[in-house]
A and B are shown apart, each in its own frame.
Chain A
Amino acid sequence: MTIHTPTTEAQACAVVKSVIGSAIPLAIRGGGTRAGLGRPTQTQATLSSAGLTGITLYEPAEMVIGARAGTPLAEVRKTLAERGQMLPFEPMDHRPLFGSGGEPTIGAVAAGNISGPRRINAGAARDSLIGIRLVNGKGEAIKSGGRVMKNVTGLDLVKLVAGSHGTLGFLTEVIFRVLPVPERIVTLCWHGLSDSDAVILLSRALGSPFEPFAAAHLPAGIAGEAARTLLRLENFSVSIDYRAGELKALLAAYGEPELIEGSASEALWRDIRDAAVFAGTQEAVWRLSLAPTNGPKAAAAIAAALPQARHYYDWGGGLLWLGVPAQGDAGAAAIRRAIAPLGGHATLVRAPDAIRASVPVFEPLSAPLLRVTAGIKTSFDPAGIFEPGRMYAGV
């Protein structure tokens, strides 16, 4: 298989133009750590961002960083950390879940709209992504957004491309807004709560003025014997002491929380972010986004239909991670039936190719929205050369 590795945007345009006539479909690739996301595709060549690296812009006082799409995420993080800053949205690392190697790239974080536990407070990757350059399916280099965080000039193609998984174009450069690293991070951990009590606790905390940055619940047996309900505070140290005290008082009915700091807290949230409980298992893994109080309802309905399902919650109950046997439709029908009355969506994150080829990986769309989605795909990529079928069959 041919792998194209342009080192300039102009070369990337030339690669795309060279395949338009023959309509050779291209896989779009960053570090390859998330290649298992979406539907399996039939491509004959790969367009890689590996040759497009380097920070292009970093203004700490303006809280903005730009990098070529193939820049390793680790390099972006290191550059930011040197000035006490970070990406606001805590992007998930898919390597544990997929058992993949390589280095995740900043472009793939944008293309996949990859976020983590911090999403509930600080927004998703798409909320911090303020500018892109990409090569569309006509081989044109286009831009949207820019380097300033307030920008409503024209249609927001940045949002459209964030989370399009390479189906709309080949990103060459991305610009993110960044935030200061908090002075101190502390996790409060309550033990032994049921799913529904835990989500009530998390909702009360998230509806308090004490501003948790992350809120998760690990039911009994998922990662340890007793259930754990977790709130993460990030702030100046004096505020942490005060807010932790206020939250303990507010939530006194749920018992005295354990205080976790430092590397133990970091490891806990890294595992939650990366769905680490499913690393190395044979299960199919789903990611469900729901209104938080519907999380336990969905989990209960799914458990009734799929007794072997294992689950935990992030985003205050609104993100349900689910492991089910990787057989048949990997529980797709039962899961989508369970959430249909609740609203929300289910994405099949990990499953054998055969299942991901036969089951809708992303939530199926209504007819008008499928028409719009297909139209947008064509507007960027008229010849259908970028990752055809990655998100929806035939699109």
Chain B
Amino acid sequence: MSAIAFPVPDAAIIARREEIIAGLARLVAPEALITSADERRPYETDALTAYRRLPLAVVLPSTTQQVAAVLAFCHEQGVPVVPRGAGTSLAGGAIPQEDAVVIGISKMNRILEIDYANRIARVEAGVTNLAVTGAVMAEGFFYAPDPSSQLACSIGGNIGMNSGGAHCLKYGVTTNNVLGVTLVMLDGSIVEIGGAHLDSGGLDLLGLIVGSEGQLGIVTEATVRILRAAEGARPVLFGFPTSEQAGAAVAAIIGAGIIPVAMEFMDKPAIEICEAFAKAGYPMDVEALLIIEVEGSDAEMDAQLARIVAIAREHGVQTVKESRSAMEAAAIWKGRKSAFGATGRIADYICMDGTIPTGQLPHVLRRMAEIVQGYGLRVANVFHAGDGNLHPLILYNCNDPVEAQKAEDAGMDILKLCVEVGGCLTGEHGVGIEKRDLMTVQFNPADLQQQMRVRAVFDGQWLMNPAKVFPLEGRVAA
């Protein structure tokens, strides 16, 4: 695939490579500077593996001060910078370019402070998402955003992309769960935004930084909310004969004033793929599956589930299967969370991430099937039904360039459809390079120019993660 363009590498910068590396070597320890081609190779892509570019060099600082020194140096030298968390971006948010220095935060992985009375944790940005929950689990607490990649992905990356997960229906996404960050700006200034308190006065710079995809600076530390977990949680499987009925059941549950902690949808191809991998006991004779999770004491969960089951029956549910043990519950979630990995075992795939108004669900499911069939491909659908965040997985063979191009085209058609019905290009993965050229479908020139003028306040020269988010044409500088 080669549909997505990269900026032409700056030959003058590449010509100065040795000089730039020598400069970086003065700022960090030798083991924190990666220059050989072999060792740079792991940094040439992220989870959007179809695109690769070998960076000029990779720096892995250990402190905020080192990040500041490296950024200030790159700024002074006019060298592009690509920030990198764990490299799990599905949108290509961490893919470098030949004239850029990658600044990876993976060595900054300490949990600095846990304060249960104030319900916060302060962590370095390279800490993995799951490690935050791991650190507070013994006290019954957790960190709410739970992207499928939570074992590997970093808090810094989550902040960059404003990551979500399966449980944001109740608990929100990253931006609702971060209280403060230490941000290193391009000129090397270190600023504290927010803290252990709520809602800093002044402009909501924290809200701007979250989801800015590494274009405004590098977050090196974060203060996040930790929440006390409910007494219990129980995922239940609801199998429906049609997607329409499943969708109508979701709307009716919300209409009844019930907000389950999660409502996940899988269509038949996804059920088959995930069941083959995870052996979660998913029903195989249904067209659509909802995983609905409720929380609380046993009696509370019983009461809430009774209402949900009654609604599901009104909408023709075919199978209801409750998890009766922690192991069964874990298997149910394992199936869902491994959907991407399990799909990867049977075919190459690209994972889309549009969001639609949930009322449009039956229409969009039908149209998506038509679009993908039109290209002669197959699609498996998993998505967050409560909030309309779709994850169609388009299956293809990456060794067939024609098919690969078709898969990418089908994906773009699906995202255009999401915007057309009132939704958006990306619900939780970010724009990255993947959806950059579709931004004009969702935004008009004035919208994009306003965003770019804000971006220019932080980086007037387009040095920070420059190939991402905004179309390469028509960019606004300082």
Contacts and interface: CB of A to CB of B under 8 A. Distances in A.
Interface of A: 59-64, 84, 113, 115, 119-120, 123-124, 126-127, 136, 140-144, 146-160, 162-164, 168, 179-181, 183, 200, 203, 206-209, 211, 236, 238-239, 242, 289-294, 315, 318-319, 343-347, 362-363, 365-366, 368-369, 372-373, 375-376, 378-380, 391-392
Nearest to A287: B201
Interface stretch (B5-13, B225-233, B264-272, B323-331): B225-233
Given A151-B424, A242-B299, A376 B197 contact: no
Given A62-B357, A153-B424, A293-B118, A362 B201 contact: yes
B454 interface: yes
Contacts of B120: 291
Nearest to B204: A159
Contact of A343 (B196, B201, B304, B425): B196
Minimum-distance CB pairs A-B, first 10:
A159-B207, A180-B257, A375-B457, A150-B427, A291-B196, A379-B453, A61-B251, A362-B201, A148-B355, A140-B446
Nearest to A119: B198
Contact-size category for B: 35 or more
A153 B470 CA distance: 10
Given A61-B359, A147-B357, A236-B303, A362 B426 contact: no
Given A159-B175, A160-B208, A163-B204, A142 B450 contact: yes
Contacts of A124: 198-199
B119 A207 contact: yes
Interface string B101-132: 00000000000000111111000000000000
B474 interface: no
B200 A289 contact: yes
29 contacts: A60-B254, A61-B255, A62-B388, A63-B254, A144-B447, A147-B357, A147-B422, A148-B423, A149-B387, A150-B164, A150-B389, A151-B427, A152-B161, A153-B431, A154-B469, A156-B207, A157-B450, A157-B454, A180-B259, A207-B228, A236-B304, A239-B303, A293-B115, A315-B198, A343-B197, A363-B200, A368-B189, A373-B202, A391-B202
Contact of B450 (A140, A151, A163, A344): A140
Given A238-B303, A345-B197, A363-B201, A207 B117 contact: yes
B204 A239 contact: no
Nearest to A146: B424
Nearest to A168: B203
B359 A152 contact: no
Interface in B303-348: 303-304
Contacts of A290: 196-197
Contact of B355 (A123, A150, A365, A375): A150
A57 B355 CA distance: 18
Nearest to A291: B196
B451 A155 contact: yes
A152 B207 contact: no
Given A152-B164, A183-B257, 17 more contacts: A62-B358, A62-B359, A120-B198, A126-B204, A126-B207, A140-B450, A153-B442, A154-B443, A155-B451, A162-B204, A180-B258, A203-B118, A206-B228, A289-B200, A363-B202, A372-B205, A391-B203
Nearest to A143: B447
A344 B469 contact: no
A379 B193 contact: no
Nearest to A63: B254
